[in-house]
Amino acid sequence: MLFCGVDTSNYTTSLALADGEGRVIANLKEPLPVKAGECGLRQSDAVFAHTRNLPLVTARLRELLGSAGLCGERIAAFGVSATPRDAEGSYMPCFLTGVAAASAMADLTGVPLYRFSHQSGHIMAALYSSGSESLADAGAHIAFHVSGGTTEVLLVRPGSDGVFSVDIIGGTRDLNAGQAVDRAGVMLGLRFPCGPALEKLAEESAESYSFPRVPVKDCMCNLSGVQNQAEHRLADGVSPCDIAAYVLDYIAAVLGAMARDARAAYGELPIVFAGGVMSNRRIRAQLEKLGDCRFAEPAFSADNAAGTALLCRRKYLGEHNG
């Protein structure tokens, strides 16, 4: 018995499979093409790219099943990222592409289709990757979703049918962390998405920046200042590697302050970090000092459908075994 997840974010076309035991056996991705010098895609371009990518990724998934001798395995249900967040009015056109594909596959095979948020998929992928799935059933925890499209602090609690509930308790007032990374990276001549290249550039720096005060209050932050500082430093002749280190250390300091605010308000709960920015080892090293933190591996931090496949399994088993 297999469970298929579909995710069509503004950055990546993703398909994944989880087996009946809750193991991710496929986690396939195809990035959306972005022109050099640009910092993302318009929604219409993302929808077009997903329409081209989905048949290609589906063919790769079928090849993988064949090579693993799993072509005869039944897909019991499909799960799809239908919205960006678990919030009323949350909507992005790019997710409609995945919904259309998953709906067609579920209807054709006569199996259930479950809809989740992209954000819940990120949280589930992080729980799985960090070996912390028990947190989904064991009381509240704090989650950070940190990416190009989102910088939010979340209170996650067990919900019905094995799927948790998510409440937003903090976030950004302006730029998202991933936007700050990408804008700084493009300014330094890197290609979007800039996260891995900016991290590599920062490794060349001998600097380590500390920020005794950052613009964080009650789990809310401002990140536009780091972009302004990066621009000023470049104009002043500061080396690109030092600018990269400055940007990443600043983001780490802001996230750390938000985490301390969240624990002050909700208690010393475990913290799970999800989203593409959390692939960054420099940021992660700073946040590990908080204690009792869980981090997804890079393949499960960046956009993926693995979390959606795992949520699909939990929802299906909750309905059929409950």
> In a structure prediction context, what are the per-residue pLDDT tens digits for the chain, which is 322 residues long?
999 999 999 999 999 999 999 999 999 999 999 998 888 899 999 999 999 999 999 999 999 999 989 888 899 999 999 999 988 889 999 999 999 999 999 999 999 999 999 999 999 999 999 999 999 998 899 999 999 999 999 999 998 777 899 999 999 999 999 999 999 999 999 999 999 999 999 999 999 999 999 999 999 999 999 999 999 999 999 999 999 999 999 999 999 999 999 999 999 999 999 999 999 999 999 999 999 999 999 999 999 999 999 999 999 999 988 6
307 and 273 part of one domain: no
**Contacts for 204-213 with beta carbons within 8 Å, 24 or more apart?**
204/241, 205/239, 205/241, 205/242, 205/244, 205/245, 207/242, 207/245, 207/246, 208/245, 208/249, 209/245, 209/246, 209/249, 209/250, 210/249, 210/253, 211/249, 211/250, 211/253, 211/254
Tell me, what's the pLDDT at 322?
60
CA–CA distance from 50 to each of 53, 88, 163, 265, 299 (Å)?
Answer: 5, 25, 27, 40, 20
Tell me, what's the pLDDT at 102?
99
107 and 215 part of one domain: no
Which residues make beta-bridge pairs with 6?
Answer: 15, 80
- Rounded CA-CA distance 193/270 in Å is 29
246 and 310 part of one domain: no
What is the domain count for the chain? 2
Residue 252 DSSP SS3: helix
Element holding 63 (H helix, E strand): helix 43-67
Q: Does some domain include residue 196? A: yes
Domain that holds residue 283: 171-295
Tell me, what's the pLDDT at 160?
77
Tell me, what's the pLDDT at 247?
99
We report the CATH number of the domain holding residue 207 as: 3.30.420.40
186 and 257 part of one domain: yes
- Degrees to nearest 5, angle at CA 5 with 302 and 73: 130
Tell me, what's the pLDDT at 282?
98
175 and 111 part of one domain: no
Tell me, what's the pLDDT at 37?
87
- What values do phi and psi take at 218, rounded to 5? 55, 45
180 and 274 part of one domain: yes
Residue type, 81: S
Residue 150 DSSP SS3: coil
